[in-house]
Chains A and B, each alone.
Chain A
């Protein structure tokens, strides 16, 4: 599904290399987790995959179902089925959450040559999904993320993911800032989307999210590289011992 080969990325503005040869393969139907110390390049990887400005790919490739992601505009990547739940969701004053989501859903459908969703159908679907995530009608009407609490913002990301039904979901620290109940809601939202045709890349610092969203594969990222890959037990090891041992072992 998502195939990343020897991805090298530097900042456009500075001569600073951030990703130093990332190799990663996420198969359809699988959940991969990435853990790693602060500043190791996890968010950078998610931004580069989704097409944010400011980064330069100096080497390597990234494809989604064989399509070259790096050649596409961000909106084309979204229409191709890539979704990023942001570590820091952006506030957009003056744009209603509902209007925003309907525009996004229909823009993606249009780009794929599918029929647009009617206002009535959209309303029906979003109401049901919002209810599952305990997002009330008021939050849907408010401007995108404006005045939302940290946890509400993260739930709003998951709502967007549920509405957009992407093929490849990248979640960047969706668990940070969530209380225990909200974490369960978010995990349920993610698990509800797990299917044979869909891949997940879950970036997290904590095992507790992975208790709810059981990963198939766990990667450790350090200094711009995947330095170790293993099963769910790798996350437990990090939880118990931190990164020191792992980093020493691969050094």
Chain B
């Protein structure tokens, strides 16, 4: 009997396809991440947190191709005063980017930050490593080990405008890994914008350290290229009285897995994470969120809304963990889907785990269709069916969009969504 052919280990195969930099301050962290990745192995379908989302196209050695989506609209955030940092298929584009100097903040590229005593040495891979327990996130370890670039942002004050990371996608075969480290010093404030499809396959990780009294606002729009795939991670740690607000808009994309891991470690801190997505057909969108309360009198909110049709799939796996002693915790979580037809599906796994007694936590998850009575009411007033459906769709998403603090950014996002919804009908 012939011996079965030796199966190549997919994790090792993937590791072999990447290279680490030869030297530098991040090397230690990268080696550590590589060891973690080897110990965990790449995600597989049978893993508890990958039951609803097939990891294969995210883990396989060669990224599936993704056509570039051409359109004639002005890019998102175009009218907003901001400092632009542009990556094309994961490669920094100096010419398209603004000068990276701005008062109250230092911005560097990961790939060229040489100094051995770099501040980011303490952050790079640190929050990712913490975020590996109790749920493993091998794609984030892969990212830490092999990221080719990213930004290192140290916010010491309140810079006058948002930093805007722009991810262009120009090659059908691009496979990008970016890693950002963001450190907000005590009392500092930053608004970070991200937009664009980035690459055919995009693995992005962002570690955010929010020191006491600091405020971090994050608004992201993932590009509309239909075939793109993305696995992203946000790891955040919040100090006393700090604030964290992150909103993500996803329209199109074949596969998106957005993980957000937040630790509230200082008292009186607040973390809001929200997402609105609109998907059609071969669209699979997964929000996997883990919020840990490890301090007193903190507040957290998770608001996720998904509009799905033509067989699109939405996944929400959200957890609130309240550790012993994290009294006066106020935790809220809602995940809802609007199913525009019977082919689409929403899979939700909300979890609460509470080890303190003086807490208020609530969570809810619903799936529903357009409210026919509301639709008729709008039509009876003269609003055509398509417009009325869009109005109700936007109103369904509103609770998530409201999580954007800035009215200007909120209007930008709402305006875009309504024009996209309208286009889709034309």
User: Which residues of A approach B to under 8 Å, CB–CB?
Assistant: 50-53, 73-75, 77-79, 84, 86, 89-95, 100-101, 103-105, 107-108, 111, 143-144, 160, 164
B379 near A74: Cβ-Cβ < 8 Å: yes
A51-B380, A53-B376, A92-B374 as given contacts; A75 in contact with B385, CB under 8 Å? yes
Binary per-residue interface labels of chain B (385-406) against chain A in the complex, 1 for a CB within 8 Å, 0 otherwise: 1011001101110110000000
B171 CB to nearest A CB, Å: 39
A sample of 24 inter-chain contacts (CB < 8 A) reads A50-B380, A51-B376, A52-B376, A74-B379, A75-B383, A77-B380, A84-B380, A90-B374, A90-B376, A92-B395, A94-B392, A94-B395, A94-B398, A95-B392, A100-B381, A100-B383, A100-B391, A103-B383, A103-B387, A104-B383, A107-B383, A107-B384, A111-B384, A164-B382
A53-B372, A73-B385, A90-B373 as given contacts; A95 in contact with B380, CB under 8 Å? no
A53-B376, A89-B377, A100-B391 as given contacts; A94 in contact with B396, CB under 8 Å? yes
- Say yes or no for B107: interface residue by CB 8 A criterion: no
Give the residue of B374, B380, B394 whose beta carbon is less than 8 angstroms from that of A74: B380
Which residues of chain B have C-beta atoms less than 8 A from A108's C-beta? 382
A73 near B377: Cβ-Cβ < 8 Å: no
Closest residue of B by beta carbon distance from A92: B374
Which B residues from 328 to 373 make CB contacts under 8 A with A?
371-373
Closest residue of B by beta carbon distance from A77: B380
A92-B392, A94-B394, A103-B391 as given contacts; A78 in contact with B381, CB under 8 Å? yes
B381 near A164: Cβ-Cβ < 8 Å: yes
- Say yes or no for B378: interface residue by CB 8 A criterion: yes
Which residues of chain A have C-beta atoms less than 8 A from B380's C-beta? 50-52, 74-75, 77-78, 84, 86
A92 near B377: Cβ-Cβ < 8 Å: yes
CA distance A107 to B376 in the complex (A): 15
The 5 residue pairs across chains A and B that have the minimum distance between CB atoms? A94-B395, A78-B382, A108-B382, A74-B379, A104-B381
Q: How many residues of chain B get a CB closer than 8 Å to chain A's CBs?
A: 23
Which residues of chain B have C-beta atoms less than 8 A from A79's C-beta? 382
A86 near B387: Cβ-Cβ < 8 Å: no
B389 CB to nearest A CB, Å: 12
Which residues of chain A have C-beta atoms less than 8 A from B374's C-beta? 90-92
Which residues of chain A have C-beta atoms less than 8 A from B391's C-beta? 95, 100, 103
Residue from the set A51, A86, A94, A104 with the largest chain B CB neighbour count within 10 Å: A94
Which residues of chain A have C-beta atoms less than 8 A from B392's C-beta? 92, 94-95
A153 CB to nearest B CB, Å: 11
A214 CB to nearest B CB, Å: 27
Which residues of chain A have C-beta atoms less than 8 A from B378's C-beta? 92, 95, 100, 104
A94 near B399: Cβ-Cβ < 8 Å: yes
A211 CB to nearest B CB, Å: 28
Closest residue of B by beta carbon distance from A88: B373
CA distance A89 to B396 in the complex (A): 19
Closest residue of A by beta carbon distance from B373: A90
CA distance A50 to B374 in the complex (A): 14
CA distance A75 to B376 in the complex (A): 9
B87 CB to nearest A CB, Å: 35
A132 CB to nearest B CB, Å: 20
B376 near A74: Cβ-Cβ < 8 Å: yes
Which residues of chain A have C-beta atoms less than 8 A from B384's C-beta? 73, 75, 107, 111
Residue from the set B371, B379, B399 with the largest chain A CB neighbour count within 10 Å: B379
B369 CB to nearest A CB, Å: 13
Which residues of chain A have C-beta atoms less than 8 A from B387's C-beta? 103, 107
Which residues of chain B have C-beta atoms less than 8 A from A75's C-beta? 379-380, 382-385, 388
Which residues of chain A have C-beta atoms less than 8 A from B371's C-beta? 90, 92
B377 near A86: Cβ-Cβ < 8 Å: yes
CA distance A42 to B373 in the complex (A): 18
CA distance A143 to B391 in the complex (A): 12
Which residues of chain A have C-beta atoms less than 8 A from B396's C-beta? 94
Closest residue of A by beta carbon distance from B372: A53
Which residues of chain B have C-beta atoms less than 8 A from A90's C-beta? 371, 373-374, 376-377
B223 CB to nearest A CB, Å: 26
CA distance A243 to B394 in the complex (A): 47
B379 near A93: Cβ-Cβ < 8 Å: no
A107 CB to nearest B CB, Å: 5
Closest residue of B by beta carbon distance from A50: B380
CA distance A195 to B381 in the complex (A): 21
Which B residues from 56 to 102 make CB contacts under 8 A with A?
none
CA distance A160 to B382 in the complex (A): 11
Which residues of chain B have C-beta atoms less than 8 A from A111's C-beta? 382, 384
CA distance A85 to B94 in the complex (A): 61
A139 CB to nearest B CB, Å: 17
Closest residue of A by beta carbon distance from B395: A94
CA distance A101 to B378 in the complex (A): 9
A52-B376, A53-B372 as given contacts; A104 in contact with B382, CB under 8 Å? yes
CA distance A75 to B399 in the complex (A): 28
Which residues of chain A have C-beta atoms less than 8 A from B381's C-beta? 78, 100-101, 104, 160, 164
Closest residue of B by beta carbon distance from A46: B380
Which residues of chain B have C-beta atoms less than 8 A from A91's C-beta? 374
CA distance A75 to B373 in the complex (A): 14
Give the residue of A52, A53, A95, A107 whose beta carbon is less than 8 angstroms from that of B382: A107
